[in-house]
């Protein structure tokens, strides 16, 4: 594992990256990780690190990047825009493909990172493979949930009445708003709200792969109607889909830092199954927490 700063093209500043070399005699693929939105990113750091190590141990080269204004990268959160984040991710994909022994490219998104992964995939010369973990229904849903944090706080001190409308109006006028310690800019909110999981058509001679994973606190159940319909649209667009529900906590929003071992193993198993076309249920879980 190696940490370094990537000089951002066009936007200036640096982006913190963590690079995991693929282990073993064969590099199976290259993976770019796109983190969740705002505080969910911090809650997910441990799981992202454990997942990246497991992927590297299975033969995948992994690059984690802190986007503009996030983590230890340049800028403040309020400086970020959706387009700037897309540009950061596209540059990170180019960096990966410039490494020795390039291999099939995967973009791994977690929560809002799934929406970003789809937008990034549209900007690349050829569609990458996608690993989407707990993808939200839409960017509009993510934004609404984030704005509700401010409204919930306002309810406690009596200032919540009409607050949602005020936030919406401020953003529509190009102003930034403060929510839960984050300054949300109008360009970021606009881009996030417009993001969606609409499938990307693939050329007839290209077999693009999609792994879709979700966590459930209890036994896996039927997919939600939105998830089932979205998955079917991706299949119809020519994507080879592996979808699985796994047991585990919603670690991106829990009070304490949580782990979901079943997700770590399920993600690696899904990648291997898509690479070989074989059933990887016999995949031996790695020792993640050593």
User: What is the Cα–Cα distance from 278 to 290, expressed in whole angstroms?
Assistant: 29
Binning pLDDT at 50, 70 and 90, where does residue 10 land? confident
Residue 287 has pLDDT above 50, yes or no: no
Q: Which of 107-111, 196-200, 273-277, 279-283 has the lowest mean pLDDT?
A: 279-283
Sheet order of strands, 29-34 included:
2-7, 14-20, 60-65, 29-34, 105-110, 129-133, 209-216, 240-247
User: What is the Cα–Cα distance from 189 to 168, expressed in whole angstroms?
Assistant: 10
Q: What is the pLDDT of residue 11?
A: 76
Q: What is the pLDDT of residue 279?
A: 38
For the chain, what is the radius of gyration of the CA atoms?
19
Helix 186-194 to helix 139-157 angle (10° resolution) is 130
Binning pLDDT at 50, 70 and 90, where does residue 207 land? confident
* Closest alpha carbon to 210 in 132, 135, 279: 132
Residue 285 has pLDDT above 60, yes or no: no
Q: What is the pLDDT of residue 81?
A: 97
Q: What is the pLDDT of residue 283?
A: 39
| Mean pLDDT to the nearest integer, 165-188 | 95
| Mean pLDDT to the nearest integer, 217-241 | 90
Cα–Cα distance list, 201 to 111, 119, 155 (Å): 22, 13, 45
Digit-coded pLDDT (tens) for 116-141: 999 999 999 988 999 999 999 999 99
Structural domains of the chain, ranges and CATH numbers in brackets: 2-136+208-276 (3.40.50.1820), 137-193 (no CATH)
Is there a contact between 105 and 32 (Cβ–Cβ < 8 Å)?
yes
Are β-strands 182-184 and 177-179 bridged in parallel, bridged antiparallel, or unpaired?
antiparallel
Q: Which of 1-5, 150-154, 260-264, 266-270 has the lowest mean pLDDT?
A: 150-154
Helices and strands: H and E segment counts in the chain: 9, 10
| Mean pLDDT to the nearest integer, 243-268 | 95
User: What is the Cα–Cα distance from 208 to 275, expressed in whole angstroms?
Assistant: 11
Q: Could you tell me what percent of the chain has a pLDDT over 70?
A: 90
SS3 for 17?
A: strand
Q: What is the pLDDT of residue 7?
A: 95
Digit-coded pLDDT (tens) for 27-76: 999 999 999 999 999 999 999 999 999 999 999 999 999 999 999 999 99
Residue 206 has pLDDT above 80, yes or no: no
User: What is the Cα–Cα distance from 78 to 170, expressed in whole angstroms?
Assistant: 14
Scanning the chain, the segments in alpha helix (DSSP H) are: 39-43, 45-57, 82-97, 112-123, 139-157, 163-172, 186-194, 225-236, 261-276
Q: What is the pLDDT of residue 204?
A: 65
Nearest-10 Cα torsion for 237, 281, 226, 223: 140
Q: What is the pLDDT of residue 159?
A: 59
User: What is the Cα–Cα distance from 204 to 132, expressed in whole angstroms?
Assistant: 23
Binning pLDDT at 50, 70 and 90, where does residue 220 land? low
Binning pLDDT at 50, 70 and 90, where does residue 154 land? low
């Amino acid at each position: 594992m190696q940490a370094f700063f990537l000089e951002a093209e066009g936007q200036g500043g640096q982006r913190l990256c963590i690079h995991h070399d693929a282990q073993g005699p064969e590099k199976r693929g290259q993976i770019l990780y796109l983190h969740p939105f705002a505080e969910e990113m911090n809650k997910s750091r441990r799981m992202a690190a454990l997942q990246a190590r497991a992927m590297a141990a299975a033969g995948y080269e992994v690059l984690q990047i802190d986007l503009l204004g996030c983590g230890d990268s340049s800028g403040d959160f309020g400086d970020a825009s959706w387009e700037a984040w897309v540009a950061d991710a596209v540059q990170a994909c180019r960096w990966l493909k410039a490494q020795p022994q390039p291999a099939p490219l995967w973009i791994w998104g977690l929560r809002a990172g799934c929406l970003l992964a789809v937008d990034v995939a549209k900007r690349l010369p050829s569609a990458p493979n996608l690993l989407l973990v707990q993808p939200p229904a839409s960017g509009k849903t993510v934004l609404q949930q984030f704005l509700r944090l401010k409204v919930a706080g306002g309810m406690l001190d009596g200032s919540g009445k009409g607050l949602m409308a005020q936030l919406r109006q401020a953003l529509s006028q190009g102003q930034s708003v403060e929510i839960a310690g984050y300054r949300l800019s109008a360009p970021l909110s606009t881009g996030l709200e417009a993001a969606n999981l609409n499938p990307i058509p693939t050329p007839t001679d290209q077999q693009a792969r999609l792994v879709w994973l979700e966590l459930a606190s209890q036994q896996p159940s039927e997919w939600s109607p939105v998830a089932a319909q979205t998955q079917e649209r991706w299949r119809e667009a020519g994507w080879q889909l592996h979808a699985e529900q796994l047991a585990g906590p919603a670690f991106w929003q829990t009070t304490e830092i949580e782990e979901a071992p079943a997700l770590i193993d399920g993600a690696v198993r899904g990648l291997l199954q898509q690479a070989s076309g074989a059933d990887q249920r016999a995949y031996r879980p790695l020792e993640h927490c050593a």
